[in-house]
Structure 1
Amino acid sequence: MSVPAQSERQRKLATVAAAAMANKDTPLIRNAWYVAARSDEISRNLMARQILGRSVLLFRREDGTPVALQNRCCHRSFPLEHGKLDGDVIQCGYHGFRYDCTGKCVAVPSQPQPPENIRLRRYRAVERKPFVWIWAGEHDAADECLLPQPEWLGSPDWDLYIGYLNIKGSYVHMHENLLDLSHLSFLHETTFGTPEYARAPIELTVAEPNFEVWRHVECVLPGIYAKPLGWEGQKALRSSGAQYVSPGLHVNTGFLKNLSVPEEQQQPQPTIKVAQLITPETQRSTHYYFAACRNFARNDPEIDAFMLKAQTTAFSEDLFAMEQIARMQALESREDYYEIDVAADRAGVSMRRYLKKLADAEAAPVA
């Protein structure tokens, strides 16, 4: 069957545009900070986590400092998570090779001295409660000044709750999804979305490395916000922002104003901030923490539980979308598969182009 000329032209244009954007096959960006785990997940018990396609061993030294090392013993690839800690020394559970916290092999039981060249890959790990971050590239190249955790995350001025989802899809598409406010009325119809949202004007900031989207909507708030505020059925101004910060962080902000209340009776503006912490597990799967802070309905465990449940439900809708998209991408042949972009995609497309530039620069040979 012949392909109509217009369709073939559209396919070619879309293919050229897509080649400049990061996608599920783009090499992962290692020279960046990513969340390895929540602070309370890492202890004196050895644990492993797949991060950017590598198995990473996580634990705390006796002084409480977090450590991140290659999880595979250099000898016969036994996972060190199944070994044991002796003070600050890891002992492999297979042949007893012992490694210090820098990854250096300090003992081989079957011979007097260990070979000098045996060393585990070491990662820079930095704790910024409530998270432990990891620099996924070379240890000595890590720059703590680039660690992107917002100062409000963990501040006593905000109430905080944290959720986690594992997504069987690319971190690139999750970043694009979070920078896309046009899907709220549809994918999140019963959680975040309201009908007015889809038609609201978009304010864009697109200037590498800053990609930001805002929408301002007058609407009856969805229950996730209306219930904690006691604004059920009341009209409000909802200002929502989405910002790409780094390969491992995206921030969403919401400002709320009750339009049913006279100006002089307005309370301090209710605000919610969500740190979306995105860590590639593999090329095709993603660790996704969301840490939400609010300045209203403070110190109320019931509201914490309600909002965590509601946001987990909403973000699970994103998970569903990402996994269904990944499924369709796997089903379609490369010749048949292409996507088109519309005006609302501008920020996401620009962000994906930027990620592609970062990945290409990292992969380029050193002169």
Structure 2
Amino acid sequence: MFLRNAWYAGAWGHEVEGDKLLPRKLLGDAVVFYRKSDGSAAVLRDRCSHRFAPLSIGRKEGDCVRCMYHGLVFDADGVCVEEPGKSRPSPNLDIRAYPVVERWKLIWVWMGDPALADPDLVPDCHFQDDPAWASIPAYIHYDADYRLILDNLMDFSHLTFVHENTLGGSATIAATRPKIEQTDGGVRITRWYPGEPEIAPYLRGVETFQGPIDRWNIYELQIAGNVFLMDSGSAPAGTGAPEGVRVPQAMQFRATQIVTPEDEHHSHFFWTYAHNFDISNADLTRKLAARLTTGFQEDKDMIEAQQKVIDEYGEDGMGYIFADNGLALFRRLLRARIDAEQGQAPKLAAAG
């Protein structure tokens, strides 16, 4: 079950170039991305209305797409504008066109009621398009339910174990009780690890200072679009980071991780990991992205293994521990939003 009235990340802008037709499935809907002659993005249902041939194996012609089965042509609004052999197309041939906004290097698609598609509701992911920060747009495909990925993002205690030699590196992370807050749009979690003896493994060799650190992860997962935004970093211990002081040596990051369901059992994962130090050093940016990719592959391996067990046995009897408080709250809020959208009574289950 999905929340449909929201902007979802559908593709990175660089994935849709020239005359390319990009097929993708979002929330169970097969869609096709392309660019019009003015460079703006368009998204149509990837299905010709005549015999349901995919438009993504068709041909872009100006602002339109031609189905290469029987030649029908559709414009960016989904209107059939040409039927070979007729002066005007037959009735009832129009297809669905989706509202689109391109912002923060992403092409966002509104998957619900088009009348509710307010561009002002596009999530603020400006750090991945801010010249004061450096990052590389990246993508991972998951063979897993999107909610399992969101669970992973809401419970950083796993960094101690899944990412022992990459993103984690400290037993303190699993033992720390975070501050959990419900926001207007989702859930915010604050985690501080003061006085850690050394920097995390993925930053070794690129650190800007030596010695003990104060480390933080402050992140919010927004229900609309499943957008995860994180302020994280490491500063020399005792220099005031918990009080909001960021000394020049501090290594600061702004992570964006967005989970768009493909269908009930597969997901798209769009991410960047922006840094605001040594931003002209492209090699550093690539090195950080590669190390993060290694960590995210560890998540992917674990979550897809979890999905296989759930596919075989279901979720009945799944236990909960104190580290699940954030993810359980998010699941309740997500389920309530979906139920409200569908006009159903709210569910009372702890984790949706």
Identity of aligned residues (%): 26
Deviation at 1:349, TM superposition (A): 0.3
Q: For 2:178 and 2:238, locate their aligned partners in 1 and report how far apart those are by CA, in whole Å.
A: 25
Aligned residues: 336
Aligned 8 A contact 2:236 2:250 in 1: no
Q: For 1:74 and 1:259, locate their aligned partners in 2 and report how far apart those are by CA, in whole Å.
A: 63
Please give the secondary structure, in 1, of the residue aligned with 2:156. Answer: coil
2:5 corresponds in structure 1 to 31
Task: Evaluate the alpha carbon distance shift between residue 184 and residue 107 of structure 1 in structure 2; reply closer, same or farther with a 3 A threshold.
Answer: same
Deviation at 1:262, TM superposition (A): 11
1:197 corresponds in structure 2 to 173
In structure 2, which of residues 211, 214, 225 is the aligned counterpart of residue 237 of structure 1? 214
Residues 146-185 of structure 1: pairs in structure 2 closer than 5 A: 146-185=121-160
**Which amino acid in the other structure matches residue 251 of structure 1?**
L
Which runs of 4 or more aligned residues in structure 1 lie more than 6 Å from their structure 2 counterparts after TM superposition?
260-265
Task: Evaluate the alpha carbon distance shift between residue 333 and residue 152 of structure 1 in structure 2; reply closer, same or farther with a 3 A threshold.
Answer: closer
Aligned 8 A contact 1:56 1:70 in 2: yes
Structure 2 spans left out of the alignment, 5+ residues: 345-352
Q: For 1:261 and 1:358, locate their aligned partners in 2 and report how far apart those are by CA, in whole Å.
A: 41
Aligned 8 A contact 1:201 1:216 in 2: no
2:347 corresponds in structure 1 to none
1:46 corresponds in structure 2 to 21
Please give the secondary structure, in 2, of the residue aligned with 1:254. Answer: strand
Question: Which structure: larger Rg?
Answer: 1
Residues 258-337 of structure 1: pairs in structure 2 closer than 5 A: 258-259=236-237, 266-267=247-248, 269-332=250-313, 337=316
Deviation at 1:260, TM superposition (A): 8.4
Q: For 1:32 and 1:262, locate their aligned partners in 2 and report how far apart those are by CA, in whole Å.
A: 38
Q: For 1:120 and 1:262, locate their aligned partners in 2 and report how far apart those are by CA, in whole Å.
A: 57
Aligned 8 A contact 2:235 2:246 in 1: no
RMSD over aligned CA atoms reads: 2.1
Q: For 2:104 and 2:52, locate their aligned partners in 1 and report how far apart those are by CA, in whole Å.
A: 32
Deviation at 1:357, TM superposition (A): 1.0
In structure 1, which of residues 333, 339, 344 is the aligned counterpart of residue 318 of structure 2? 339
Task: Evaluate the alpha carbon distance shift between residue 251 and residue 127 of structure 1 in structure 2; reply closer, same or farther with a 3 A threshold.
Answer: same
In structure 2, which of residues 219, 227, 234 is the aligned counterpart of residue 249 of structure 1? 227
Task: Evaluate the alpha carbon distance shift between residue 341 and residue 207 of structure 1 in structure 2; reply closer, same or farther with a 3 A threshold.
Answer: farther
2:44 corresponds in structure 1 to 69
Q: For 1:257 and 1:267, locate their aligned partners in 2 and report how far apart those are by CA, in whole Å.
A: 9
Please give the secondary structure, in 1, of the residue aligned with 2:2. Answer: coil
Aligned 8 A contact 1:208 1:354 in 2: no
The TM-score with structure 2 as length reference comes to 0.90
Note the alpha carbon deviations across 1:87-127, whole angstroms, 9 max, x for none: 11211100001111110011111333212322111101111
Please give the secondary structure, in 1, of the residue aligned with 2:126. Answer: coil
Q: Does residue 130 of structure 1 match 2:105?
A: yes
Structure with higher RCO (Cα < 8 A, 6+ apart) = 1
Note the alpha carbon deviations across 1:297-335, whole angstroms, 9 max, x for none: 22112111211111001011111121111111011156x
Q: For 2:230 and 2:238, locate their aligned partners in 1 and report how far apart those are by CA, in whole Å.
A: 25
Aligned 8 A contact 1:272 1:295 in 2: yes
Q: For 2:321 and 2:184, locate their aligned partners in 1 and report how far apart those are by CA, in whole Å.
A: 20
The TM-score with structure 1 as length reference comes to 0.86
Please give the secondary structure, in 2, of the residue aligned with 1:159. Answer: coil
Aligned 8 A contact 1:229 1:296 in 2: no
Deviation at 1:261, TM superposition (A): 7.9
Q: Does residue 228 of structure 1 match 2:206?
A: yes
Please give the secondary structure, in 2, of the residue aligned with 1:133. Answer: strand
Comparing 59-68 with 140-149, which one deviates more in the overlay? 140-149
Task: Evaluate the alpha carbon distance shift between residue 333 and residue 340 of structure 1 in structure 2; reply closer, same or farther with a 3 A threshold.
Answer: closer
Deviation at 1:68, TM superposition (A): 0.4
